[in-house]
Amino acid sequence: MIKIENLKKKFDKNEALKGISLTLGEGTVAAVMGPNGSGKTTMLKCILGLVKADSGSIYVNDCHVNGECEYRKHIGYMPQYSCFPENLKVKEVMAMIKDIRGNNCVYDEELIEKLKISEMNDKQIGQLSGGMKQRVSSAAAFLFGGDIIILDEPTAGLDPVSSEIVKNKILEEKAKGKLIIITSHIVSEVEAMADRIIYMLEGKIYFDNTKDELYSSTGKANLNQAIASLIETAESEGKK
């Protein structure tokens, strides 16, 4: 579904991406992890066409992403921080998104119902708490039934009930054969949902493995311990 070849991006002197190569297929929840500044969000924004890479190639469903925009109709996106117009009501924002996207599809309104978005319909975005904005953003990401869903810190700011609803939705969409890409700093959340862990450090992919491969290679029983073990090994080798 997504193929990235030798992707590079520099902001002034800062090399955000240093030759990323990655292939992501259907029926997968892929978690992109790493510390702040590791290049996670830059890579996702390159896939979405929100940031133009300096070099390298991205293919989405065999379409070369090079100034094109039609491919985006197949992608649902939830940014880490919602940026809807503060003066619009929730119902106006949802109508605007549908109008802008223009997808000829049957809308997936499951999260609109389960996250009780209709109860906020007449409230302006500026009146909503951070968690309420996240609920609106979550519902919008899944609304168009895209084959690819990209979620940047999807449960950040959500209450426990809403968080479980979103996590269950992710797993349901994976079961339908969709590719779900998430970023998260919550290791327990990644462990519960993701099949594949892509860990980035300083603009490079440090490791890309399934959970079972990580457990096997490190001899650790949980994801947090496995990741910590790999990072400690890397730091130890770097000091030699």
Q: What is the pLDDT of residues 52-91, one digit of tens each?
A: 999 999 999 888 887 677 788 889 999 888 888 899 999 9
- What is the pLDDT, as a whole number, of residue 240? 46
| Residue 7 pLDDT greater than 60, yes or no | yes
How do strand 196-201 and strand 28-33 relate by DSSP bridges?
parallel
Q: Which region among 15-24, 42-51, 61-70, 140-149 has the lowest average model confidence (pLDDT)?
A: 61-70
For the chain, what percent of residues have pLDDT higher than 90? Answer: 62
Strands (E), 27-140: 28-33, 55-60, 63-64, 75-78
pLDDT band at 19 (very low <50, low <70, confident <90, very high): very high
Q: What angle do CA 175, 176, 179 make, to 5 degrees?
A: 85
What one-letter code names the amino acid at 8?
A: K
Beta-carbon-side half-sphere exposure of residue 100 (alpha carbons within 13 Å): 10
- Residue listed under structure tokens 């493995």: 209
Q: What's residue 235's pLDDT?
A: 67
> For residue 70, how many C-alpha atoms fall within 13 Å in the half-sphere facing its CB?
4
Contact (Cβ atoms closer than 8 angstroms) between residue 182 and residue 170: yes
pLDDT tens-digit readout, 134-180: 999 999 999 998 899 999 999 888 999 999 999 999 999 999 999 99
